[in-house]
Structure 1
Amino acid sequence: MELHKVLLSLTILCIAVSLSNGACFHDLPKHGIKDGCLDPYNKEKHPFGSKWNSDKCMTCTCDRTILSCCTRYTSEPHVQGCKAVLDKRTCKYKHYKVDNPSELCF
């Protein structure tokens, strides 16, 4: 019975790691902004304690000590014969055929 629990835990861990290939960065709030952070992409001001989705497919959070932004998508998946293109509207990859870039692979 214990072996089943261990195998289940390892399987869940492997799936979680494979789905979490995003990237994050952290920065200090900008000087001169006393009550929030600036979005690093569009320079919009956000109050301390806020969380938002940037127009660059990032989820950002702002507090008094740090600004953190992480991608809302996983790393680029590789599909043979297809090219992955990040759709900035949905923040998901779409796969197009290498020999016909206007046609989706699936």
Structure 2
Amino acid sequence: MFNLSPVSRCLALALILSSLAAFANAGCYMGPKKVGAQDPCQDDTDKDWHEVGSSWTNSQCIQCSCGTSRMSCCHRMGRPSGFPEDCEVLRDWKQCTFEVVKKNDHSVHCPHVAVGK
């Protein structure tokens, strides 16, 4: 069907595997509450308490919701990777965004891959 060279096959396989890694590392988790059904949930990061039925975003851009039997959380900001060594990640923890830019010139954006969100 496809007549690919060995190098092209290796590159295609690498692309597929890196895509699967991104899906496997989606950044959401759930856990049982350590207290009763009507008791509040404690944020694992900031250690503050939230009422059942509430949702919040903590200081590390993790959005959580408190249910009667469990708390569920998802990362709101992707984790960039695969960028050149002369680049760095600038995170805005208030807006839950990031940019990958040249270390010596923050106006120049760098190519990257973001995992999760």
TM-score normalized with structure 2 length: 0.58
Q: Identity rate of aligned residues, in percent?
A: 28
- Do structure 1's residue 74 and structure 2's residue 78 form an aligned pair? yes
Larger RCO (CA within 8 A; separation ≥ 6): 2
1:32 shift after superposition = 6.8
Does the 8 A contact of 1:96 with 1:103 survive in 2? yes
Q: How many residues align?
A: 86
Corresponding residue of 1:39: 43
Structure 1: any 5+ residue segments left out of the alignment? 1-17
Q: Provide Cα deviations, 1:32-64, integer angstroms capped at 9, x if missing partner.
A: 785210011111111111111111101100101
Structure 1 counterpart SS, 2:80: coil
Amino acid at match of 2:74: C
Q: CA RMSD in A?
A: 2.7
Change (3 A) 1:96 1:67: same
